[in-house]
Every structure is written in C-alpha cells, then in structure tokens.
Amino acid sequence: MSHVEHTTLDPLGADESRALLMTAEIGRLAFTDEHGPTVEPFGFALEGPHVVIAVGARSGARAAVGQAVAFQVDELDLVHRTGWSVVAVGTLHRADPETSARPEPWPGGDDERALLVVRVERLSGRRLRRDPRRAEPSASR
Amino acid sequence: MSHVEHTTLDPLGADESRALLMTAEIGRLAFTDEHGPTVEPFGFALEGPHVVIAVGARSGARAAVGQAVAFQVDELDLVHRTGWSVVAVGTLHRADPETSARPEPWPGGDDERALLVVRVERLSGRRLRRDPRRAEPSASR
C-alpha cells in the first residue's frame, strides 16, 4: 500500500483520560448478555469518578448488574486520522436512589428507566496523532 | 423532566443489520484483555459475513484470538435523536493469510499488523426513531 499513513498512538494518563471522558455525550457499554458479549450506546453523566447511565426496560444491560464492564468513549476524525479513545472499566451496580446524576436518557425507546452506575476502577486512553517525522516522504527509499 | 423525548427502539433483522454494517467505516471491538473488558475502535472490511480488522502490535486484541467478541458499529444523531446500532458477535481468529480483505489500517500507530477476523455467528441491531404519535403535546395531562 503506497498511502499508509504514519500515525502514533500515545497512551493517555488518568487525568487526561478523565478530562476527555467529560467532553463526551455518548459512550458505549460493553457487557455480556444471554447471547454473549455485546455493546450498547448510552448517554451518561459522571458522579465523581463513576459513570451513570439511564437504562430502558428492554436493554440487556439491566441484567448485567454485578458484571465487570467497560464504558468507552471516543472522538475519531477519519479524514485527518486523529482522535482519541478512553475506556473506563469497573463493576456495574444499581445507582444510589439518592444520586444527583442526571444522565441523558439516550437512546430513549421507552419510559421506564433504571439508573445504573459503572464504579470505575481503571481509566485509560490513547490518542492517535500523525507523526510528522515519519509522514515526510523519503527519497532514499 | 419536561423535555423527555418520545422515541422508539425498533429491532433490526439480520439483512438490515448487515446493510448498515456495510455503510460504516469504523467499528468498536469489545474483548477481554489482562485488565478485564475493554473496547478498541478499528477500521474493518467484510469478507462474506465476517469482519476483518488490522491490528497493531501493541493492541490487546492480538491476545484475544479465540475469544467470543462483539464488533459494534453505529451512527448516532444526538440532535435529532435518531440513529442505529449494529452488533456482530463471534469468535476472533487470525485471518486466512490468503484473505483478499483489506481493512483500513485504522487507528494506525505502528507498522506491524496482524489481520484478525471475527467469524460472525450472530448479527443484530436496533434503530432509534422519534415516535410522532407520542411526541405530540397533550393538553389533557
């Protein structure tokens, strides 16, 4: 392939990962349902370090309470080949009924919602950037 | 909340899910690494019903060969509250060295790539749409 882009994936620290997580509106929850692994998009709110989602009655995520899950957010620019991805890993719990977190009820789909919380134990991320040193054409090759 | 949107989540059949999968450029692979569940975005290509991705040397997905994984694609319109999400579930294998699939090497990040394939056993999806009947204001409430 003559047009392979030269890009670099930089790991992100927890502080930067958290700052990026705060900018996102939608994330994707990876969990296991009766058919195996699956992923569903959700709106979310942060409550301290934890991720609160509003889950409809028909979402398989309701049955995932107690599981170790991953909640991933990203911003990807396919044209410029830049972007970032952040993953929060923790156990899924029912939210404290007293929670003040008000996650966007997205995707919607029904009215009966349960608030669930990912109690985040590990936050990590990666940023993709173009590497200018390597992107320069080399006449010697 | 006074501005709850009335939306409907419709399940999608395998044919429609596959047609939508073909329109996507990037998907997100949910697998388990040494830290637990995680999600990574990848470019992909389809080979028959299966999903082929190009995985860099530092991706944890290399160690997920043999796992049941989920590959999810979506298109979400947060403003109009519409969109869809499709999930392909299957076992992750090394791709046949003879494969003609040429997945976009995204996210990039290094040059040494392995082609992996999700041998899809189950394809499902959901479409979110606004429900006009329920979105009309009701003066009687």
User: A128, B105: Cβ pair inside 8 Å?
Assistant: no
The shortest CB-CB distance from B89 to any of A38, A106, A128 is to A38
Q: What is the pLDDT of residue A110?
A: 59
CA–CA distances in Å: residue A116 to residues A21, A43, A54, A128, B139: 17, 12, 6, 31, 33
Record the tokens describing residue B138, joined without a space: 């009701």
3-state secondary structure of A118: strand
Alpha-carbon distance A110 to nearest alpha carbon in chain B (angstroms): 7
pLDDT level of residue B107 (50, 70, 90 thresholds): confident
Say whether pLDDT at A1 is over 60.
no
Q: Which CATH superfamily, name and number, covers A12-130? A: Electron Transport, Fmn-binding Protein; Chain A (2.30.110.10)
DSSP string, A21-75: HHH-SEEEEEEEETTEEEEEEEEEEEETTEEEEEEETT-GGGGGTTSEEEEEEEE
Cα nearest neighbour of A69 on chain B: B37
Question: Over pLDDT 70: what percentage of chain B?
Answer: 87
Which of B26, B39, B128 has the most A C-beta neighbours within 10 Å, making it the best mutation to test the interface with A?
A: B39
Average pLDDT over residues A114-134: 88
- Using alpha carbons only, give the angle B59, B74, B11 rounded to the nearest 5 degrees: 125
The shortest CB-CB distance from A39 to any of B4, B70, B110 is to B70
Whether chain B has a CB inside 8 Å of the CB on A9: the answer is yes
Cα nearest neighbour of A72 on chain B: B39
Alpha-carbon distance B37 to nearest alpha carbon in chain A (angstroms): 5
CATH of B7-135, one of 2.30.110.10, 3.40.50.1440, 2.60.40.10, 2.10.109.10: 2.30.110.10
User: B69, A37: Cβ pair inside 8 Å?
Assistant: yes
Q: What is the pLDDT of residue A40?
A: 96
CA–CA distances in Å: residue A109 to residues A63, B101, B125, B137: 18, 36, 14, 17
Which residues lie closer than 8 Å to A48 by C-beta, 6 or more apart?
none
Cα nearest neighbour of B73 on chain A: A39
- Sequence spans of domains, chain A: 12-130
CB B119 within 8 A of CB B90: yes
Q: pLDDT (tens digit, 9 = 90+) per residue, B53-106?
A: 999 888 899 999 999 999 999 999 888 888 999 999 999 999 999 999 999 877
Q: What is the pLDDT of residue B56?
A: 87
Q: pLDDT (tens digit, 9 = 90+) per residue, A3-50?
A: 445 778 899 999 999 999 999 999 999 999 999 999 999 999 999 999
Q: What is the pLDDT of residue B42?
A: 95
CB A24 within 8 A of CB A88: no
Segment (H or E) for B15: helix B14-21
Q: What is the ipTM of this complex?
A: 0.89
Calculate the average pLDDT of chain B.
87
| Gap between the Cα atoms of A73 and A63, Å rounded | 22
